[in-house]
Structure 1
């Protein structure tokens, strides 16, 4: 009897933390994307969030 092949993760997913990979996989499944596409979207969103708060005008509290 042949061995079952284990699922192979895309190379970019395996290079991230397990929590980030889990979140990307969940997001991909819910939105009909590939895990790589979901991870790319998540990273772009993180970059935008970091640039909008740090480079924006000074806030008055």
Structure 2
């Protein structure tokens, strides 16, 4: 998932750090995404070196 598909309010997970829990995108500026995770708090993610999986909030 690239940063141009992410937007504030989206729910994501970091597949490289599953213990961080569910995160909500706070801001997207270029390749930098700020996410507030359940168990890790606010993190600045550089999308050139990381991947975030988008979670469908409407999924059953």
Between structures 1 and 2, the one with greater helix share: 1
User: Greater strand share, 1 or 2?
Assistant: 2
TM-score under structure 1 normalisation? 0.22
The alignment's TM-score, normalised by the length of structure 2, stands at 0.23
